[in-house]
Amino acid sequence: MDDNTILKVNDLSTHYFTSRGAVKALDDASFELKGGQSMGIAGESGCGKSTLAFSLMRMVQPPGKIVKGSIDIRGLEVTDLSEKEARKKLRWQKISMVFQGAMDIMTPVYTVGYQMMEPLKYLKNIKGDEAKDICFKYLDMVNIDYELFYRYPHELSGGQKQRIVIATALLLDPDVVILDEPTTALDVVVEARIMNDLKLLKKKLNNSMIFITHDLSILAEISDKLAVMYAGYIVELGDAIEIYKNPKHPYTRKLIGAIPRLHVDVDRLEYIPGAPPELTNPPKGCRFHPRCDQAFDRCSQDEPGFHEVDGVKVMCHLYDRGA
């Protein structure tokens, strides 16, 4: 493991134990992230991308449970931590998260400043002017006027709230920042501006960032690495440019083909027929085979392993040269 590796995830599986059986929301996820690197996680709803984020934060709620695997953040083994330790050592300091719909996450009864200073107060015991200075430093980075620090959340626009939530997530200088659909509820102009700021932030800070979204066109703007998830598995993982230029997995290919383009006339949009499988009882063999147009006999029998093609890991039998 070279020095700059911040996050190392190995064979991580998280299942939800419901009355209908175990929902295999995340299976055998493995990846590494270096400092300053950003990774995008893409996939349809229900493919396990949020479960992956919650697992990294050690925030999987019962009946969910991390059943196997390891998460290593700069030498700290996340899966071994107790809840209390996770609160004291992990969250906000090692890893933080901007949640989906983060704009509505602030309580309306406290000022923005009070809420921003909370993690500093409880985790680092930094109070008063010192805490304020730290907050102002990060507000500056996300282009927010200091004046807003003393306002209440209802006085701010959606874009401003989103920026403040991002600044709060960065406060304790965590090694990894997870952004779960950070711009979904915003207008395109605001979205584009926030993405521009995030691009600059990514260069300036040495944190690793994980972006979770179903919108592949946003991920293209910001991620160095890309992980495409389907039905609980990371089916394709590698350099973002390579994957966009030439997607290997039939699922990725379809997903990129389904993006409507602004400057290209098309007669039909590509789509993937059918629906993602129930994760209580996923299909045998490759989980994508019932919807795949390149499936052959073996796909419904054996589960595919990872094959490396042009530096990209693909979970698909098409690339199994040995067989």
Partner 1 sequence: MTRTVIEVKNLKKDFEVSQSFMNKMMRKPKLYVKAVDNISFKIKEKESFALVGESGCGKTTVGKILMRLINVTSGEVYVKGKNISKLNDPYKLKVYRRMTQMIYQDPFSSLDPRFKVYDILEEPLLIHNIGSSIAERRALIEEALENVRLTPPDEFIDRYPHMLSGGQRQRVAIARCLILNPDVIVADEPVSMLDVSVRAELLNLMKDLIEKQDLTYLYITHDVSTTRFFAKHIGVMYLGDIVEQGPVGNVLDNPLHPYTQALLTAIPEPEPERLDRIKEIPIRGDIPAGTNIPEGCRFHPRCPYAKRVCIEEVPDYKIPAERGHIVRCHFAGEIEYKFRVKVISDEGEVVKEEVIDAGEESDTAS
DSSP state, residue 278: P
Backbone torsions φ then ψ of 194, nearest 5 degrees:
-65, -40
Torsion region of 75: left, alpha or beta (phi above 0 gives left; psi -120 to 50 gives alpha): left
In the bound state with partner 1, the residue whose beta carbon lies nearer, of 129 and 265, is 265
Q: Please classify residue 141 by burial: count the beta carbons closer than 10 Å to its beta carbon, then call 0-12 exposed, 13-18 middle and 19+ buried.
A: middle
Q: Report the nearest approach of partner 1 to the CB of residue 56 (Å).
A: 23
Which residues of this chain interact with partner 1, rule CB under 8 A? 36, 44-45, 157, 159, 187-189, 191-193, 195-196, 199-201, 203-204, 214-218, 220-224, 240-241, 244-245, 254-256, 258-266, 268-273, 275
Distance of closest approach, residue 141 Cβ to partner 1, in angstroms? 10
Least Å from the CB of residue 214 to partner 1: 6
Considering the complex, state which of residue 59 and residue 220 has its C-beta at the smaller distance from partner 1. Answer: 220
Contact 114, 46 (CB under 8 A): no
Tokens matching residue 166: 């991002």
List the structure tokens of 271. 């789509």
Between residues 121 and 204, which has the closer beta carbon with respect to partner 1?
204
Smaller CB separation from partner 1, 140 or 320: 140
Residue 260 C-beta: closest distance to partner 1, Å: 5
Q: Whole-number minimum distance, CB 240 to partner 1, in Å?
A: 5
Give the relative orientation of helices 112-119 and 158-170 as an angle to the nearest 10 degrees.
20
DSSP string, 111-135: -HHHHHHHHIIIII---HHHHHHHH
Is residue 116 within 8 A of residue 164, CB to CB? The reply is yes
Nearer to partner 1, 87 or 257 (CB): 257
Least CB distance to partner 1 at residue 269 (A): 4
Nearer residue to partner 1 within complex by CB, 263 or 321: 263
